[in-house]
């Protein structure tokens, strides 16, 4: 019986080494060489200190900062996920209505509807970006809080708007962390 089992055990050991260790180490090594920034989590550093990642949203709530999408998990990357509430859910409708009121209160006098990405959480709860419309909706509040001209904040939104990847994938977007770091660099808060 051992003569029949031995080749199977040898193959299990061999494929465990090749597929379980060799392949992951090879792919990781290639990623480190070809895309070192992305392979290390797309970390953003300021003054030699990691302040976040380009890929994971953070909760900014002070008036002088651009606010991102709401997160049902408190921007906890270890607990990524949405609320799982259906579009027909009364609880979801109540949450959105509450968020609309909060956004309007933070941005008084802004005309038109509140951009949808300021009042709805994403499936991951970690979106790092907002639409240009959501960023522009907050421009007056940010300018007033920082003592800047609103046109200056609007110009920054235009400068930080990334287009579609490869010209057709995704939507135009503004990375919230990068924008807020640029605001701090241009007009530091005391």
* Domain identity same for 141 and 107: yes
> What is the CB neighbour count within 10 angstroms for residue 111?
5
Report the distance separating Cα 50 and Cα 155, nearest Å.
27
Structure confidence by residue, pLDDT tens digits, 146-179: 999 999 999 999 999 999 988 889 899 999 999 9
* Domain identity same for 137 and 59: yes
> 48: part of which helix (H) or strand (E)?
none
Percentages (nearest 5) of helix, strand, coil residues in the chain = 50, 10, 40
Average pLDDT of the residues of the chain: 90
* Domain identity same for 13 and 74: no
2: pLDDT strictly greater than 80: no
* Domain identity same for 19 and 79: no
* Domain identity same for 29 and 99: no
* Helices and strands (H and E) in the chain: how many: 8, 5
> 104: part of which helix (H) or strand (E)?
helix 90-106
Contacts with 94 (C-beta within 8 Å, 6 or more apart), sequence order: none
* Domain identity same for 82 and 9: no
Range of the domain at 36: 1-40
Instruction: Supply 75's token pair.
Output: 């921007």
Span 125-154, average pLDDT: 94
At residue 115, the pLDDT reads 95
* Domain identity same for 59 and 110: yes
Q: Are the C-beta atoms of residues 119 and 92 closer than 8 Å to each other? A: no
* Domain identity same for 133 and 175: yes
Structural domains of the chain, count = 2
* Domain identity same for 86 and 14: no
* Domain identity same for 114 and 26: no
* Domain identity same for 64 and 132: yes
* Domain identity same for 36 and 64: no
Span 61-78, average pLDDT: 89
At residue 129, the pLDDT reads 94
At residue 190, the pLDDT reads 66
Instruction: Supply 118's token pair.
Output: 């300021």
Entry pTM: 0.82
């Amino acid at each position: 019986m051992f003569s029949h089992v031995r080749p199977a055990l040898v193959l299990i050991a061999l494929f465990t080494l090749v597929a379980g260790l060799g392949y992951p180490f090879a792919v990781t090594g290639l990623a480190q060489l070809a895309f070192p920034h992305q392979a290390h989590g797309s970390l953003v550093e300021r003054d030699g200190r990691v302040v976040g990642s380009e890929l994971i949203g953070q909760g900014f709530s002070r008036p002088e900062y651009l606010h991102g999408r709401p997160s049902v998990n408190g921007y906890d990357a270890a607990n990524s996920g949405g609320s799982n509430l259906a579009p027909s859910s009364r609880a979801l409708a109540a949450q959105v209505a509450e968020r609309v009121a909060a956004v309007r209160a933070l941005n008084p006098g802004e005309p038109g509807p509140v951009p949808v990405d300021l009042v709805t959480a994403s499936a991951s709860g970690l979106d790092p970006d907002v639409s240009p419309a959501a960023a522009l909706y907050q421009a007056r509040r940010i300018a007033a809080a920082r003592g800047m001209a609103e046109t200056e904040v609007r110009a920054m939104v235009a400068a930080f708007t990334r287009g579609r990847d490869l010209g057709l994938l995704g939507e135009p977007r503004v990375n919230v962390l990068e924008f807020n770091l640029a605001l701090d660099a241009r007009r530091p808060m005391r």
